[in-house]
């Protein structure tokens, strides 16, 4: 077949110069011409393909559908693949299947001087592209696993630093429970007349047991090595649960934690990872006020920014961050602490971004700074 007015050898040269595979078929689907890229791609010689149905280059599934698509177009002009690029599987001579992208164009009969209409198929081998995509996905999965391991190590390290305070926090309600229980025993041994007199003491026993239980549950959840699992969570409850743990550190340094929480709303996040971020930011804020003589207050706020986004912020009145260093605080291994590893804020940034949010630092007008991060809200939350 020749293009009208174009020498055959020039047409062949144009076809063979193309990087992508090019195949010309007639209206019945018979192959009229192929270029060298097609022979390299599919492993056939051109003589083995010319005159054969184009289905020879297709695996069974696509091959069975091809005649129907072609017949429908010839009768009705309805396009299924023609004029539309799409990804399919090709089949080599050795029956090996591989991914390809196919674009098909239609040349009308009147353009070919009555030689009959034909179709031009341009085929690109996607094997390398798909391999690269799979490798990129594998690498991203490995990076995510590394982030999760680093985050878990950071949580365990944080708990290790807090272990003395945690023991003290649990011992307090246990000691109170013991005292109230002993008091109840003494009252009974003394000939208690009205059992209702025990109710206030028993209520205190229950409250103190619940307090100790919350601390233990918080420790257990916080120490889990879990994969990212995003689910609807009450944002304010996440913050409150973290404050229970953070108060241990705060009391040691004489710092007050103040909550300014918006009306209840739901966020779509991994609860443990968000709590890790909040606890890390609160602990950093507490430590920033180590040398402060007064006004040792950390304010933890929640608010809705819009229908899809919420914000959690931790504000302190400490020494703040040097403006020259502000852009480096989230870099790995950057730290202003003498004994710090410089991974805390970097991990926080990774965890926030994994939730679909962003974290930022801003300097307060007076003293100190505020770390804020956004989270996606749940539908209807």
Task: Dump the DSSP string for 264-317.
Answer: P-EEEE-HHHHHHHHHHHHHHHHHHTTT-SS--EEEEEEEE-SSSEEEEEEE--
Contacts of 1 (CB under 8 A, 6+ apart): 24, 32, 33, 112, 115, 118
Largest CA distance in the chain: 120
**Of 156, 143, 161, 160, the residue nearest 332 (C-alpha):** 143
Tell me if 180 sits within 8 A of 205, measured CB to CB: yes
pLDDT band at 2 (very low <50, low <70, confident <90, very high): very low
**Spans of all domains in the chain:** 8-125, 130-225, 228-381
pLDDT tens digits, 86-95: 888 999 999 9
User: Measured between alpha carbons, how far apart are the two ends of the chain, in Å?
Assistant: 65
Instruction: Kindly state the percentage of the chain with pLDDT values over 90.
Output: 24
Q: Which of 235, 222, 231 is nearest to 373 (CA)?
A: 235
- Predicted pLDDT of residue 146: 65
CATH number of 228-381: 3.30.565.10
Angle, CA 291 vertex, CA 290 and CA 292 arms, to 5°: 95
Q: How far apart are CA 48 and CA 330, in angstroms?
A: 62
CATH for 130-225 is 1.10.287.130
Condensed to tens digits (0 to 9), the pLDDT of residues 67-85 reads 566 656 555 555 555 667 7
Considering only 85-94, 146-155, 223-232, which range has the smallest mean pLDDT?
146-155
Q: For residue 191, what are its two tokens?
A: 């000939």
CATH superfamily of 8-125: PAS domain (3.30.450.20)
| Full-model pTM | 0.50
The three-state DSSP-derived secondary structure of 355-377 is CCCCEEEEECCCCCEEEEEEEEE
Contact indicator for 338, 310 with CB cutoff of 8 Å: no
pLDDT band at residue 113 under the 50/70/90 scheme: very low
Question: Vertex 46, ends 44 and 49: CA angle to 5°?
Answer: 75
Give SS3 for 321.
Answer: coil
Q: Which residues of 210-221 are buried (b: 16+ CB within 10 A; e: fewer)?
A: ebbebbeebbee
**Beta-sheet pairing, 256-260 with 297-304:** parallel
pLDDT given for residue 339 in this prediction? 45
């Amino acid at each position: 077949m020749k293009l009208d007015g174009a020498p055959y050898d020039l047409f062949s040269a144009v076809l063979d110069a193309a990087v992508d595979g090019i195949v010309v078929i007639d209206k019945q689907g018979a192959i009229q011409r192929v270029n060298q890229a097609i022979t390299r791609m599919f492993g056939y010689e051109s003589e083995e393909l010319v005159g054969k149905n184009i289905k020879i280059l297709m695996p069974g599934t696509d091959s069975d559908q091809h005649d129907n698509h072609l017949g429908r177009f010839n009768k009705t002009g309805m396009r299924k693949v023609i004029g539309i690029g799409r990804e399919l599987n090709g089949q080599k001579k050795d029956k090996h299947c591989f991914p390809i992208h196919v674009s098909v164009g239609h040349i009308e009969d009147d353009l070919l001087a009555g030689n009959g209409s034909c179709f031009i198929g341009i085929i690109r081998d996607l094997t390398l592209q798909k391999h690269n995509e799979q490798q990129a996905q594998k690498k991203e999965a490995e990076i995510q696993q590394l982030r999760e391991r680093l985050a878990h190590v950071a949580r365990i390290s944080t708990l290790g630093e807090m272990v003395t305070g945690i023991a003290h926090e649990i011992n307090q309600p246990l000691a109170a429970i013991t005292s109230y229980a002993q008091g109840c025993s003494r009252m009974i041994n003394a000939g208690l007349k009205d059992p209702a007199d025990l109710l206030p003491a028993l209520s205190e026993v229950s409250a103190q047991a619940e307090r100790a239980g919350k601390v233990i549950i918080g420790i257990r959840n916080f120490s889990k090595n879990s994969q990212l699992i995003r689910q609807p969570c009450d944002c304010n409850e996440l913050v409150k649960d973290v404050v229970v743990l953070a108060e241990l550190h705060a009391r040691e340094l004489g710092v007050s934690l103040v909550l300014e929480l918006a009306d209840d709303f739901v966020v779509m996040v991994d609860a443990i990872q968000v709590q890790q971020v909040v606890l890390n930011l609160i602990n950093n804020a507490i430590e920033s006020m180590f040398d402060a003589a007064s006004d040792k207050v950390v304010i933890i706020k929640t608010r809705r920014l819009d229908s899809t986004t919420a914000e959690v912020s931790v504000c302190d009145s400490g020494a703040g961050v040097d403006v020259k260093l502000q852009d480096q605080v989230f870099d790995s291994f950057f730290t202003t602490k003498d004994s710090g590893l410089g991974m805390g804020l970097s991990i926080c940034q990774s965890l926030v971004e994994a939730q679909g949010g962003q974290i930022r630092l801003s300097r307060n007008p007076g003293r100190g700074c505020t770390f804020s991060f956004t989270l996606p809200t749940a539908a209807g939350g």
